[in-house]
A and B are shown apart, each in its own frame.
Chain A
Amino acid sequence: MKRRTNAVVAMALAAAMTISLAGCQGGGGASSAAATSLSGEAAESQSSQAEENTASSQSESEGKVLNIWCWNDEFQSRFNDYYPDVQTVAKDKSTTTLKDGTTVKWTINPNKGNNYQDKLDQALFRQESAAADDKIDIFLIEADYALKYVNSDFTLNVKKDIGLTDDDLSQQYKYTQDIATDSNGALKAVTWQATPGLFAYRRSIAKKILGTYDPSKVQEQLSSWEKFGSVAAKMHSSGYKMLSGFDDSYRVFSNNVSAPWASGTTVTVDPNIMKWVKQTKEFTEKGYNNKTTLWDDKWSADQGPSSKVFGFFYSTWGINFTLEGNSLKTPVSEGGKEQKGNGIYGDWAVCAGPQSYYWGGTWICGCKGSDNIGTIRKVMKSLTCDKDIASKITKDTQDYCNNKAAMDEIASSDYKSDFLGGQNHIKLFAEVAPKINLKNTSTYDQGCNEEFQAAFHDYFNGTVDLAGAKKNFEKSIKEKYPDLTEVKWPS
């Protein structure tokens, strides 16, 4: 009897071990955000909707599930708030139900460390064999790696496959289409936002040190890098910092390069990027910055009420998505209001800064193999081509939309941003947006930008010399991209 009990126990243990080991293998891949369960409320309304709509022609030919892949909730909230066909949103936001009964499933994988792209690539390679309702229908991409997907077969042609017309797309900024156009001239992605960059500064500090907070007068004093440097010296002598950290001015330099990062197997470091190195080293040594790095907690704190930092280079989304939240004393999540008196809300203003640039931006791609082409067309058309929706998004959220007519209208109106002390920043954006040039992009931009900044942080911190930092950049870029074999530095 005893022997049998032992056998049973041993079997159970062995089975448990097998299962737990197998569990370890599979655990990492599953995406936590790809929740499939609907909250009760949404599920109910979905089924009732489906019944009502069985007769409608569109829902018959289209798949019942629209899978959207992205890396944060920015597009998700735009979609839920502004896409006209939204019926209900699940309580945990994992799904959205459309009026025709289609369920939108959100798969959100954070961007950090290439995580989003890794997961997306895996799913794309599986796309062909996936069941119709599991196939990706829409995925989002960023400017830094847009070409990787634009030049692939996984993205649908916006005009030929999805069916948007030139007329629909006529009000979009040209640069937003340039970057999403593949080597054969086909448009593969569209965006609802344009992302021209500006210099956001503190009104109170400007008044104290420069004698004025008027954006046009402050702009006069910051219109070139030399002037920028001398203002930095003034700030320093009064105990203020010009910039928060090393990376703040990076995009302004890296967007004004004369050639793409890489061509063939060679990486060419542009002289303008070396100017960033020179300026940042100087600023660091003289104490003009706070030695922070992008997105670290001190950098965020530098945008808050107790900060002594004069300004930040930010593009459109940065103002409403990042700066505004950081400037509050009591965050919204703790019951704070987005209004004057809470932290330094209202103490900010924007000006064009020394050079025009852009930063970031999110593009919408239709994915090959999708069975929801009609819905994709409708999503793209309403969110990226519709003037009224664009105008509404900008007025509600201060984001800058990809619709010239709508933006010009707001620019010339009496629109003002309370957060920016009553300034009409759309007017400034509208002036700089047409100047954006996205000719010099390559598929390697993300890796090159990230590794370049990381390698030179050590140089700014004084742990390596210039030659050492250059070597470290060469090493990491060759690790990241095995097909790049040579790095050329400007003489």
Chain B
Amino acid sequence: MKIHSGTARSKKKGISYAKWGYIFLLPFFVVFVIFQLIPLISTVYYSFFQYFRKGLQIVGPNFIGMQNYAKLFATDLPKYFQNTLLLWVVGFIPQIFFSLLLAAWFTSSRLHLRGQRFFKTVIYMPNLIMAAAFSMLFFALFSDNGPVNGTLISMGLIKQPIRFLASVSGTRGLIAFMNFMMWFGNTTILLMAAIMGINPCLFEAAQIDGASGNQMFWHITMPLIRPIMAYVLITSLIGGLQMFDVPQILTDGTGSPDRTSMTMVMYINNHMFSKNYGMAGATSTVLFILCAILCLLVYFVMTKGSRDQEVS
């Protein structure tokens, strides 16, 4: 399709289609500003106010400066942050391990696995279930007289039911396991895409040179999928820091036992009982800053090599 209405437009020195780009971007930015940016700014804004409900009475908003933050750092905030990080790490380690393994297997030309589509669908399946429903399911499965205990008892492996949700390791373990289950399929697909993006000539050349599968993985695959690894790590970290629905449902919002599975967002949610926008805002702001710092850290560490190359 050639441009034939040239005479009218030639005055404008050619045609710029750039404006269409902006027009198509507009809906996103409108939605972003209304539903993301304004709430974000108002969260920070209200974190400097005393603003909550006392019964049906609304207290505030009264400006109180940094008092919410002072109060916040006097609480167990570091503990909830540690809980959150721990729950994420314990889930993420098996997640990245199995994802790498599966991605390497699925893409390996030597193994040439059959029924790949089936497996890919199956491992992605847990991600399709709502986290809350998944958590509810585990709550029922692992309850004191749930099917897991029932099976173990009838097999004669245990005599008394194991009270998973009354122990720290049981509860944390289940949360981490659920997060692993939900996300390893997704990560596998991402890593597979990354591996398949590598030029096959490299593998062939290595094979001709007599490299073993192991060597190829560590010296070719791993370095070349680093940008995607960084992406996986950062998105998973953000998701992990915002962990909420799984522990919230599993522990009924208490973070029990002894608040050891109380995550940052669950703590924010606790403040919403009295619609305490001040404290909830302050906690959210702190979480935002911590999240940003960690993500920058991960980004710079993970991409150090490739950025050095670009500079040179």
Is B56 touching A152 in the complex (CB atoms < 8 A)?
yes
Most buried by A among B20, B31, B76: B31
* Chain A residues touching B, range: 35 or more
Say yes or no for A45: interface residue by CB 8 A criterion.
Answer: no
Enumerate chain A residues within 8 angstroms of B166, measured Cβ to Cβ. 291, 461, 463
Complex contacts, A482 vs chain B, CB 8 Å: 52, 271, 274, 276, 278-279
Stretch at the interface among B173-181, B202-210, B253-261: B253-261
Q: Which of these, A10, A18, A298, A479, contacts B271 with CB under 8 Å?
A: A479
Q: How far is the CB of A121 from chain B (nearest CB, A)?
A: 7
- Taking a contact as CB atoms under 8 Å apart, the answer to whether A154 and B28 are in contact is no
Chain A hits for B274, CB < 8 A? 480-483
A7→B20 contact, CB < 8 A: yes
Contact at A298–B31, with CB atoms within 8 Å? no
Mask: chain B, 62-93; 1 = CB below 8 Å from A; 0 = not: 00000000000001100000000000000000
Residue A14, interface by CB 8 Å: yes
Cβ of B270 under 8 Å from chain A? yes
CA distance A483 to B140 in the complex (A): 36
Bound-state Cα–Cα, A3 to B17, Å? 11
Let me know if B163 and A291 touch, CB within 8 A. Answer: yes
Query: What CA separation (Å) do A2 and B1 show in the bound complex?
Result: 8
A454 on the B face (CB < 8 A): yes
Asked if B35 is at the interface (CB within 8 A of a chain A CB), the reply is yes
**A130 CB-CB contact with B under 8 Å:** no
Interface membership of chain A positions 10-28, coded 1 if the CB is closer than 8 angstroms to chain B and 0 otherwise:
1100110110011001000
Q: A296-B143, A447-B273, A454-B254 are in contact. Are A18 and B31 (CB under 8 A)?
A: yes
How many residue pairs at the A-B interface have CB separations less than 8 Å?
A: 100
A147 vs B254: C-alpha distance when bound (angstroms): 25
Q: Which of B124-165 contact A (CB under 8 A)?
A: 140, 143-146, 163
Instruction: Provide the bound-state CA to CA distance between A483 and B279, in Å.
Output: 12
Query: A475 contacts which of B52, B75, B167, B252 (Cβ < 8 Å)?
Result: B75
Residues from chain B with Cβ under 8 Å of A296 in the complex:
143-144
Q: Are A17 and B56 in contact (CB under 8 A)?
A: no
Judge whether A151 is part of the interface by a CB distance below 8 angstroms: yes
A121 touches B256 (CB 8 A): no
Is A149 close to B, CB under 8 A? yes
**Residues in B neighbouring A124, C-beta threshold 8 A:** 56
**A114-B273, A480-B270, A482-B276 in contact; A148/B56 too (CB < 8 A)?**
yes
CB distance from B183 to the nearest CB of A (A): 21
- Select which of A3, A14, A154, A472 is within 8 A of B1 by beta carbon: A3
B27 within 8 A of A: yes
From 270 to 303 in chain B, residues with beta carbon under 8 angstroms from any chain A beta carbon are: 270-271, 273-274, 276, 278-279
Q: Looking at the assembled complex, report how far the CB atom of A18 sits from the nearest CB atom of chain B, in whole angstroms.
A: 5
By beta carbon, the residue of chain B nearest A16 is B27
| Residue of B with least CB distance to A25 | B35
Within 8 A of B (CB), among A122-149: 124, 147-149
Distance (Å) between the CB of A37 and the closest chain B CB? 26
- The answer to the question of A341 belonging to the interface, with a C-beta cut-off of 8 Å to chain B, is no
In the complex the two chains form, what is the Cα distance from A152 to B253 in whole Å? 28
A443 within 8 A of B: yes
- Name the B residues within 8 Å of A121 (CB-CB): 53, 56
A-chain residues with CB within 8 Å of residue B252 when the two chains form the complex? 113, 454
B55 interface hit (Cβ, 8 Å) = yes
Closest to A7 in B: B20
User: Which residues B229-283 have CB closer than 8 A to chain A?
Assistant: 252-254, 256-259, 267, 270-271, 273-274, 276, 278-279
Q: Nearest Cβ distance between residue B231 and chain A, in whole angstroms?
A: 22
Say yes or no: B258 contacts A1, CB within 8 Å.
no
Contact of B52 with A463 in the complex, beta carbons under 8 Å: no
Given contacts A1-B1, A291-B144, A475-B76, contact A483 B31 (CB under 8 A): no
Closest residue on chain B to residue A476 by CB atoms: B270
A residues within 8 A CB of B53? 121
What residues of B have a CB within 8 angstroms of the CB of A114 in the complex?
273
Q: A464 within 8 Å of B by Cβ?
A: yes
The CA of A468 and the CA of B259, in the complex, are separated in Å by 11
Shortest Cβ distance from residue B187 to the other chain A in the assembled complex, whole angstroms: 24
In the bound complex, do residue B273 and residue A151 qualify as a contact, i.e. CB atoms below 8 Å apart?
Answer: no
Q: Is B28 within 8 A of A464, CB to CB?
A: no
B114 at the interface (CB under 8 A from A): no
Please give, as numbers and ranges, the residues of chain B lying within 8 Å of A3 by CB-CB distance.
1
Q: Is the CB of A479 within 8 A of B24?
A: no
**Is A301 on the interface with B (CB-CB < 8 A)?**
yes
Cα A121 to Cα B54 in complex, Å, equals 12
In the assembled complex, which residues on chain A have CB atoms less than 8 Å from the CB atom of B163?
291, 461
Are B270's CB and A479's CB within 8 A? yes
> Do B52 and A458 touch (CB < 8 A)?
no
The 5 closest A-B pairs by CB, nearest first: A463-B257, A14-B27, A479-B270, A461-B166, A148-B55
Q: What are some 29 contacts across the A-B interface (CB < 8 A)?
A: A1-B1, A2-B1, A10-B24, A11-B24, A17-B28, A18-B30, A22-B31, A25-B35, A113-B252, A124-B56, A291-B144, A291-B163, A291-B166, A296-B144, A297-B143, A298-B143, A458-B256, A463-B167, A464-B257, A475-B76, A479-B267, A479-B271, A479-B276, A479-B279, A482-B52, A482-B271, A482-B274, A482-B276, A483-B52
Taking A14-B28, A479-B276, A481-B54 as given, write out 6 further A-B residue pairs in contact, using a Cβ cutoff of 8 Å, ordered by the A residue number.
A14-B24, A17-B27, A22-B35, A148-B56, A297-B140, A468-B258
